[in-house]
Amino acid sequence: MGWGTLITRRLKVFSLALFVYFDYKAVQKRVQWVSAVKKNAIWAKTHERNARRVLNLMIELEGLWVKMGQYLSTRADVLPEPYIEVLKQLQDSLPPRPLEEVCGTIEKELGKPMRQLFATFDVDPLATASIAQVHRATLEDGREVVVKVQHDGIKEIILEDLKNAKSLIEWIAWAEPQYDFNPMIDEWCKEAPKELDFNHEAENTRTVSKNLSRKTEGGSGSVSSDVDVLIPEIIQSTEKILILEYMDGIRLHDNDSLEEYGVDKKRLVEEITRAYAHQIYIDGFFNGDPHPGNFLVSKEPPHKPILLDFGLTKRISQSMKQALAKMFLSCAEGDQVALLSAFAEMGLKLRVDMPQQSMEIASIFFRQSTTATEAKENIKALNEQRERNAKALQEKMKLNKKEVKHFNPVDAFPGDAIIFMRVLNLLRGLSASLNVRIVYLDIMRPFAESTLLGSMTRGPSTNSEWIYDSPVNSEVESKLRSLLLEMGSDKILGLQVCAYKDGKVIIDTAAGTLGKYDPRPVQPDSLFPVFSVTKGITAGMVHWLVDQGKLKYEETVADIWPKFGTNKKELIKVQKLISLMLCNETQCFRIITDSFVTS
């Protein structure tokens, strides 16, 4: 590819980006002066014409832009409907490459003429995608296969497109700081080139197939038995050629065929989600590109999903796998402390401590999927949540509107988590495009629990290390620790006990772990989110004693509890105790206790 072609591609990308950007800005000004009905119609037309502009350029440029369009076409949960309908065309086959080019690549890679390699070779491709096209064929031994052939010169195009995409994302982040996708494109730039080596894809396919067929025991029992998918066998591979077992299946966008064969689309998406939960939480090795074009559905009941294309596959460390599981489960439990702990373990650094907003944002990725018909309401809810979070950030950081727009609360974002979030978004888009609703928390939870609980080392009840190693202050503390060991971690999750006598500490013991999904040990200075109910109980009991005639609001407290009358408090009346924010809880209970005794 010459420099002239590369420059032309870049100019076309940025020209369209500017054109679309200013079109939206102009419409944004225009709709301020029209009715709500006209406003909706104007926005719908704007989305449709810009979606068609984007589609036409993506088809013309092919390469990475087609992959990006395929990704966007699955995001019915966040993108306007016209974009989904228009970009869906990219899920179908693109214009095929010439047969001469295809045969030339095959013969060059495999070192033999076509007649010696295949008994039959279909001239018309089964599908043409951004990087390669696939032909059906029969080997000399009679096996039916598909032959995946990389487009000639696609490597140079993809690498150039990545540079252009990076520049475009940087410009968007500058123009609209709230839409900063730099971490995502950085990770994509690192991972996408791996798709250009089909040897790499072949090895990935074998690994995932082996992992999903292996039975794994975890903290909540066997979870791999829930995974019921098909993966084609690898026959042969080179850098630009991949030969796989042929599997006859239905494409996910072929809704008529899915209906004809009686495919349960909800069960289908659930099976795919289970397969990805297993890959992420159990194996730590997962396909990062689950768009509809990478799946088929077997025509034979029970219509299992067929997983294809493992070029973009991510391997994560054991610690990252556990951190992702912890993040998921902390969202499920609403545990803000565990969530922030998971962020730290992932390497995600925040510039501001906002646990509630962090929980809301993280929970977005695991929320129940929405159908395509609910997409507009979903977009509205997400925008409202974004506005609430921005307002909370503005108040906490004492920023003005312009400053908060340019403030990025994330200081560092781990690259490993980018592909993970991309997978979750694509799975959500998959359920939206098939118009089904699934509950990710229910499906993924057993897998996340399996990896996290299997890694936790709370220790048996006979292990003295289960109790935090600190000096024993008294004989009663020694007895307490013996009792804790006897009860063990089966009955106690975590605790702190501190007691004073005559101004001296006689008990200061901590034991167990910080949470069900947080294996860190409890220490004497560990903080827990707690609230007091004592004041409310005390107020209720005081009112009850008055109703029973055992107290009177106009009585002075010193008449009931003489020692209370010291330090000029002899005139304070019982009614003052109702203002419990100013009342010492211990004194209140002492009053009540004495009242019962004297009555």
pLDDT band with cut points at 50, 70 and 90 for residue 594: very low
Quick one: pLDDT at residue 117?
95
Which among 75, 77, 26, 76 has a CA at the least distance from the CA of 50? 26
pLDDT one-digit tens code per residue, 381-398:
666 766 777 777 777 777
Phi and psi based region of residue 59 (left: phi greater than 0; alpha: psi -120 to 50; beta: remaining): alpha
Q: Find the mean pLDDT for residues 20-33.
A: 88
Quick one: pLDDT at residue 23?
92
Cα–Cα distance between 158 and 154 in angstroms, integer? 6
Q: Find the mean pLDDT for residues 181-194.
A: 74
| Range with the largest mean pLDDT of 83-97, 134-148, 452-466 | 134-148
Residue 456 has pLDDT above 60, yes or no: no
Asked whether 158 and 131 are in contact (CB, 8 A), the reply is yes
pLDDT one-digit tens code per residue, 216-260:
554 444 444 468 899 999 999 999 999 999 999 999 888 899 999
pLDDT one-digit tens code per residue, 35-71:
878 888 898 899 999 999 999 998 888 777 887 787 7
Report phi then psi at 130, rounded to 5: -70, -35
pLDDT band with cut points at 50, 70 and 90 for residue 558: confident
305: cis peptide before it, omega within 30°?
no
256 an active-site residue? no
401 C-beta neighbours (distance < 10 Å), count: 9
pLDDT band with cut points at 50, 70 and 90 for residue 582: very low
Cα–Cα distance between 288 and 549 in angstroms, integer? 72
Question: Which tokens belong to 308?
Answer: 């294809």
pLDDT one-digit tens code per residue, 369-381:
666 566 566 666 6
Quick one: pLDDT at residue 354?
73
Q: Find the mean pLDDT for residues 84-101.
A: 82
Quick one: pLDDT at residue 328?
87
| Range with the largest mean pLDDT of 30-34, 89-93, 307-311, 490-494 | 307-311
Question: Which tokens belong to 18?
Answer: 């500017």
Quick one: pLDDT at residue 590?
45
Question: Which tokens belong to 382?
Answer: 């997400």
| Amino acid found at 580 | L
Question: Which tokens belong to 195?
Answer: 């798709």
Residues 6+ apart with CB under 8 A from 8: none
Report the DSSP pairing between strands 144-150 and 241-245: antiparallel
Annotated active-site residue in 77, 161, 283, 289: 289
Quick one: pLDDT at residue 91?
66
Query: Over the chain, what is the mean pLDDT?
Result: 81
Residue 79 has pLDDT above 90, yes or no: no
402 C-beta neighbours (distance < 10 Å), count: 8
Q: Find the mean pLDDT for residues 208-218.
A: 75
Quick one: pLDDT at residue 460?
35
pLDDT one-digit tens code per residue, 157-182:
888 888 888 888 888 777 776 666 77
Cα–Cα distance between 295 and 363 in angstroms, integer? 27
Query: pLDDT exceeding 70 applies to what percent of the chain?
Result: 80
Quick one: pLDDT at residue 404?
65
Report phi then psi at 509, rounded to 5: -125, 140
Quick one: pLDDT at residue 347?
84
Cα–Cα distance between 365 and 327 in angstroms, integer? 11
pLDDT band with cut points at 50, 70 and 90 for residue 459: very low
Q: Find the mean pLDDT for residues 537-564.
A: 83
Cα–Cα distance between 427 and 406 in angstroms, integer? 30
